[in-house]
Structure 1
Amino acid sequence: MKKILNTLLQLTCFVLLVTIFSCSVNRANVDDSLKKYFDDNKVEGCFTMLSNGDGKVTVYNLALDTARVLPASTFKIVNSLIGLETGVITDEKMVIKWDGIQRANADWNKDMNMLEAFKVSCVPYYQEVARRIGKDTMKLWIDSLSYGNKNIGDKIDTFWLDNHLKISPDEQLGLMKRLYFDQLPFQKRTQQIVRDVMLQEENTAYSLSYKTGWGFDEKKNNIGWIVGWIEENKHPYFFVTMVKSADAAIDMKAVRLNITKGILKHLGFFDGRK
């Protein structure tokens, strides 16, 4: 009973935090100068950033910023949080055995731990995590997080890839901020582990943490994501890049990172002066 009451209290506090700290497009500064970074890569898309210091929100392409699409592998952030919180994943070193199926991505064809699976965005690893979590528990947590449209469909191991679950860039931005500040309804240890595995670059000028995603919407458009934060002089800035393209030959891995880093540099990052 005590455990149940603690859980209810935790979720109640989370709902209040969502209300207080959610990102609002109503106070966003629309910056159309960022359009060139998408045009240069011949794609559509949007970019949104929240400066934690002053609460300023910068957005390019407000219509796409508030439109929900599949999260693709950015859902590995939440899958990791739920896996860790429920004990399905013991820690970032927990290994799941390779199932022996040869896949096009050679990086996935081996036993690997959570840290490795997160870095190479290993779909089979996280599909197994989702199966071990189970549909009822997964739905409970998705509802508790109020994650996007909260629709996980009938297939526990593909719902974030098959356009059942959808989330907007603006909602992703709010999620990043709450994760950074331990404001999600998970233990601090759980959130710290996920923040640690999201770290991609760190030096004396800045640290850059993010998760990528790549999938296809119902019209077969490529949907690419980068969600995370950049920190300079202990000041975090949360950002989301979403890329949309009908080009089947697009190099999404390169495009989404080129756009993100180009915009960040345009906004004055990477020199440690923010």
Structure 2
Amino acid sequence: MKRILTFLFLISCSLLLITSCSVNRAKIDDSLKKYFDENKVDGCFTMFSNSSGKVTVYNMRLDTMRFLPASTFKIVNALVGIETGRITDEKMIIKWDGVKRPVEEWNKDLTMEEAFKVSSVPYFQEVARKIGKDTMQHWLDTLNYGTRKITTQIDSFWLDNSLKISPDEQLGLVKRLYFDQLPFQKRTQQIVRDAMVQEDNTLYKLSYKSGWGVDEQKTNIGWLVGWIEENKHPYFFALLVKSPDANIDMQKVRENIIKGILKQLGFLEGKM
């Protein structure tokens, strides 16, 4: 018995050391701070190289803090919608309800892939209503998605701070999605991966989902989560942006930061 306990103790110590080593392998890159400063925002950036296992982090403090996912939740909403048949495929149309909204691209009939590209809130609110609270909760629990909480309405819980997730958790989700490691059919994951493609050329392929919401302190929270592929090697990333400026051009700021960081890290030229 004593030998068994000693063996188990040694195994536990070994696992602890392995975990510590993987954490210590993260490279803190404070040089990336300038991209946030140039755009007058706070935030963090994390990247994982699948081939080398290298992790690059700016602002580790925010990397493990949880924030509302905003429209990055469309990744999960689409996955669940397709898997449960509420979305038949990427060409499924949901007709415009006739209500004029500030984003002009939302004010028309949209297919799933179109709605994903323009980040249509009404389209995916309807999808969430069709999925229902119990089924959605099942998938949040199955995926262990952030706080897994639906404490408000089924068509707004990812927008109103009911549900929260960290940049580190977001990165883990998109990595599993890329490799078909989520508990969905391969077809389901492929449709969502295809919808996430933003740029595809001879040098690189850039895929991500954006998000923009407001937290309890009225701070703007912006996201870009996804991956970049060069020479068939994927690099996964999560960008978080925070700003109290109510007039911030979040779309421009996110793009400025992600392109600046990717270029500094050697991407966008097909050499990685």
1:142-169 superposed Cα distances (whole Å, 9 cap, x missing partner): 0000000001113100000000100000
Computed over aligned residues only, the root mean square deviation of the Cα atoms, in angstroms, reads 1.0
Name the structure 1 match of 2:100: 102
Q: TM-score, normalised by structure 1?
A: 0.91
What pairs up with 1:168-183 in 2 under 5 angstroms?
168-183=166-181
Deviation at residue 27 of structure 1 after TM alignment: 3.1
What is the aligned counterpart of 2:82 among 81, 84, 107?
84
1:207-260 superposed Cα distances (whole Å, 9 cap, x missing partner): 000010000000000000000000000000000100000011110010011101
Name the structure 2 match of 1:10: none
CA distance in 2, matches of 1:270, 1:65: 24
CA distance in 2, matches of 1:57, 1:217: 28
Question: Which has more radius of gyration?
Answer: 2
What pairs up with 1:146-185 in 2 under 5 angstroms?
146-185=144-183
Name the structure 2 match of 1:60: 58
Would you identify which runs of 4 or more consecutive aligned residues in structure 1 move more than 4 Å?
none
Name the structure 2 match of 1:271: 269
CA distance in 2, matches of 1:27, 1:144: 29
Name the structure 2 match of 1:3: none
Tell me the secondary structure at the aligned position of residue 55 of structure 1: coil
Name the structure 1 match of 2:110: 112
Supply the AA of the counterpart residue of 2:143. L
Q: TM-score, normalised by structure 2?
A: 0.91
Deviation at residue 25 of structure 1 after TM alignment: 4.6
Contact between 2:49 and 2:234, CA under 8 Å: does it hold in 1?
yes
Name the structure 1 match of 2:223: 225
Name the structure 1 match of 2:247: 249
Name the structure 2 match of 1:209: 207
Name the structure 1 match of 2:5: none
Name the structure 1 match of 2:141: 143
Percent sequence identity over aligned pairs: 74
Contact between 2:149 and 2:162, CA under 8 Å: does it hold in 1?
yes
1:109-144 superposed Cα distances (whole Å, 9 cap, x missing partner): 111110100000000000000000000000000000
Name the structure 2 match of 1:8: none
Aligned residue-pair number? 252
